[in-house]
Every structure is written in C-alpha cells, then in structure tokens.
Amino acid sequence: LTAQHYDIKRGDYSKVNDVDIELFQSVLGDRVLTDPALVEPYNVDWMRIMRGQSKVVLRPKTTQEISKIMRHCNGRKLAVVPQGGNTGLVGGSVPVFDEIIISTSLMNNVLSLDETAGVLVCQSGCVLKDLDNYLSERNLMMPLDLGAKGSCQIGGNVSTNAGGLRLLRYGSLHGNVLGLEAVLASGEVINSLSTVRKDNTGYDIKQLFIGSEGTLGIVTAVSILTPVRPKSVNVALVCCDTFEQVQSVFVTGRKLLGEILSAVEFFDSSCYQLVKKHLSLSLPLSSHHQFYVLIETAGSNHSHDEEKLSLCLEELMSSNVIINGTIATDYTKMKNIWNCRELIAEAINKEGVTYKYDVSLPLKCMYELVDIMRERLKDKALCVLGYGHIGDGNLHFNAVGGSHSKELLDLIEPFIFEWTADRKGSISAEHGLGFKKANFINYSKTDETVSLMRRFKDLLDPKGILNPYKTLPRIH
C-alpha cells in the first residue's frame, strides 16, 4: 500500500533538490544512494505491505555525520525516516511519502566492553545477532533475543523498545539500557551514554528515546547491560488441549523452575500448520494438539537444571495439565523447537496478506480474543492464529487474507482495539505504533498523556521532520 491508499496529506515539507544532494555528498561521499534500484528495498517494509516514495538513502558512519545531515534537513525542513534493520512490523521504518531515509547499517562498531561489569557500548547499527556472537566469546549475552535477530539492529530495538523472547527473565530495555547517544532534529548531539547502573542525577532523558520510534531523535549509540551467558540451557516442549492448561503450565513452571526459568512461549495449532507448510519444520510431538508451550531454563548447573525441568514435566503430566511433553538438551533439538516458534512470523508472511496485532491482555482472557475473532472472521480469512509471549501477557493475533480486503479489516478494527481497551490491555505490547497503529493510541493512552507526548515532540522536533505520520495520531 502506498500513501494514496491512506487518507493523509503530505506534510508541508521541502522536496530534496540537487543542492541538498551535493551537501549530503560533501558529508558522506558515495554513501548517498539515489539510484532507484538501490533505494527500492529501503522503501518497502518487512511485511511487504507498505511502500514509500523516497528518492534518497543516506548511509552515515558516525554521529557527527548524522548531526550535519540533521542540521541541514532541519534548516531546509526536509523530512527524514531513521531506518535500522527494517524488520519493524508497524510500518514505522519506511517512508510514507518521500522522506529521506537515514540508514544506520554502516554504524556497526562496538565501542567498548567492560567484561567485569558486563556493560557493552556500541553504535546503533550493530546487528543484534552479531552483538550476541561477539559477547558469547566472552561468556556474556545480549539481554534481548527475537526472531529478527539476524537483521534487526540495536538502535531499532531500542527505538521500538522491543520485548522479545527473554523479557520474562531479563526485563525490558527500559531497565537494560544504561545510556544512549541521540541526535536531535536540530543536529544537536545528546550524549547520555552512561555506563553505570545507578545514576539519579535529574531526569532520566534516555528513557524518552527508548520506544519513541525515531520521532524524537536518531539513536546513534547505546550502552547496555549484558548478563552472564548461562552454562546450561534446556528446552521443554509440551502440548495442551485448552488455554486453561496453557496458563497452568506457566503457573507451574514459575513455581517449580523459579530462578532458572528463562522463557515461556506458546503457539496454537494453526501456527504449527503454517511453519510445517511453508518452512518444512516439524516438532518432536504430534501435530493434532490445540496448543504448544515452549519452556526454557537457563542456569549454571546442568544436572540440577535438567532434574528440575524433568520434575516439572512429571508434575504437569500427573496433574493432567499437559497431554504430552519432551525435553531437549542437545543444541540441534533445542534449535529446532525454537525455530518452530521464532519463524512463525516468517511462515505467516508466506501465507498471504497479514493483518497483525500485538496486544497485552490479562492471561485469563488472552486466547478468548482469538476464538472470538475466528468466529467473527469465519471464511473471510484464510487463517486466524494466536501465539506469543505468555510469560509477558503478550498475545500476537494474526489473520491472513488472500488479498487486501477492506471488509476483513473492518471486521477486525476497531473491534480488536475496543475489546483490548475494555480489558485494560495495551493495543501495542511490543511492536510500537509506527504508521499503522498511531491513530489508535487513545485506546491505550488518555488525551492528557497524548497531549504531553505532543509537547515533548514539539520541544525536540519543532518542525516535525523526524519520522512524520508515525507514533502520534495524525490530525486530519
């Protein structure tokens, strides 16, 4: 879908001219892309649903280069969109009209690592998986992990406040990011790159940039806590027939596994059918069950951890909470189970046009939403699926259609937002608002809160050049 499909007007921004391009070239040399074939991939989002019309991609390597670019863009009132790995799922990372794309892909240096304190400082364009590999050689790890780790960048993760697969154990980026550096719309560099855990000197400005989706500044470097890499990791996969049982797996897992519990993820049978169909993956359990739950433990004593997990499984079996279960201790088997969970989004993408929702809900009514939607959408959708981070109360609801369908969309929205708001949930648990969800912010935030957000935006970016049309509701 392009801008014409949405009922919005291009903002009152300047258009890039030859003089602008010359200025960019004087700062970046040949790292200014204008060849339409090279620019094209940056205009299209991961889901291949949104397409921008940008004619320029800038590929800075340093904070100073970004600062010079922003100073110029602000002076000329040129709109920009910061882009990391372009794996965002709400249309935040691609232009809506002709915004200049500032890609951080070449800002991929580790700046320092304090192995004693476990504090990493790196540029924002470092790919999450590369950072984790770098740390694994030093017995450390990144505190977050997600299916997009091979392409997403730490700056993109921080700017969306990504949650992921181990938030349950290590907490959110609001806690793990110790500091960051950001360039404001004016080109001013805010260096808040603290490496200490405790720092109560005034307002915690970095928190404003975490989750601000590139609307308040461009994150150029991040200082982040890196936990010790666990020596022993085990994965159990269990299957259940009801969502009540899935909840009991979580409760029992927390009780019996305690401090070694590192992830609890669930997916329904429709998800399993799709990863089988499109990615030829298969689980070590039969495929006719309603729900699958992945439980991971991470600790320091293998036999102790394995014994605890076995006892947990025995308890779940004997109390009839699960139908069947298996434990994986070797890498290949664990990786296979994790792949089935992590690659669900990729499998869904191959099935058709996806309507993606990411909500926080009380556990007890989480899957009720999927059942209700299945009933509502009936044969209008090719498939309806539910999965997610059960340990965080975060459901991923996806409906897939054969083509773009206004009828299908109208059956889902605003119903899903109203249903979620009625239960005091969040209409975006971890993916952010981006372009697609910006207009629905009021289902989760009060008018006063949104108005305060606008005041922050006006203060930091008075001309509104940073990622326009995103995050804050559009005023028609």
Listed ranges 129-137, 145-153, 273-281, 361-369: which one lies at the site for ligand FAD (CB under 6 A):
145-153
When asked if residue 86 is in the footprint of ligand FAD (CB under 6 A), the reply is: yes
Listed ranges 10-18, 68-76, 293-301, 340-348: which one lies at the site for ligand 2HG (CB under 6 A):
340-348
State how far the Cα of 386 lies from the Cα of 151, in Å rounded to an integer. 24
Query: Could you say which of ligand FAD, ligand 2HG, none residue 213 binds, taking C-beta under 5 to 8 angstroms by partner kind?
Result: ligand FAD
When asked if residue 46 is in the footprint of ligand FAD (CB under 6 A), the reply is: yes
State how far the Cα of 83 lies from the Cα of 170, in Å rounded to an integer. 26
State how far the Cα of 433 lies from the Cα of 463, in Å rounded to an integer. 21
Q: Which residues contact 392 (CB under 8 A, 6 or more apart)?
A: 163, 167, 168, 360, 429
When asked if residue 345 is in the footprint of ligand 2HG (CB under 6 A), the reply is: yes
The residue (of 132 and 305) whose beta carbon lies closer to ligand FAD is 132
Strand order in the sheet with 218-225: 110-114, 119-123, 218-225, 177-183, 189-192
Contact predicate 113/178, CB 8 Å? no
For ligand FAD, which residue of 89, 249, 285, 313 counts as binding (CB under 6 A)? 89
Residue type, 153: Q
Query: Could you say which of ligand FAD, ligand 2HG, none residue 101 binds, taking C-beta under 5 to 8 angstroms by partner kind?
Result: none
Query: Could you say which of ligand FAD, ligand 2HG, none residue 398 binds, taking C-beta under 5 to 8 angstroms by partner kind?
Result: ligand 2HG
Query: Could you say which of ligand FAD, ligand 2HG, none residue 130 binds, taking C-beta under 5 to 8 angstroms by partner kind?
Result: none
The residue (of 190 and 294) whose beta carbon lies closer to ligand 2HG is 294
For ligand 2HG, which residue of 54, 223, 398, 439 counts as binding (CB under 6 A)? 398
* Phi-psi label, residue 471: left if phi above 0, alpha if psi -120 to 50, beta otherwise: left
What DSSP designation does 230 have? P
Per-residue x/- mask for ligand FAD, residues 195 to 234, rule CB under 6 A? ------------------xx---xx---------------
Query: Could you say which of ligand 2HG, ligand FAD, none residue 104 binds, taking C-beta under 5 to 8 angstroms by partner kind?
Result: ligand FAD
In sequence order, what DSSP letters do the residues of 26-52 get, joined into one string?
Answer: HHHTT-EE--HHHHHHHHB-TTS--B-
Burial classification of residue 339, based on how many CB atoms lie within 10 Å of its CB (0-12 exposed, 13-18 middle, 19 or more buried): middle
Contact predicate 270/377, CB 8 Å? no
Interacting residues toward ligand FAD by CB under 6 A: 46, 81-89, 92-93, 104, 124, 146-148, 152-153, 155-157, 159-160, 162-165, 213-214, 218-219, 345-346, 430-431, 434, 467, 470
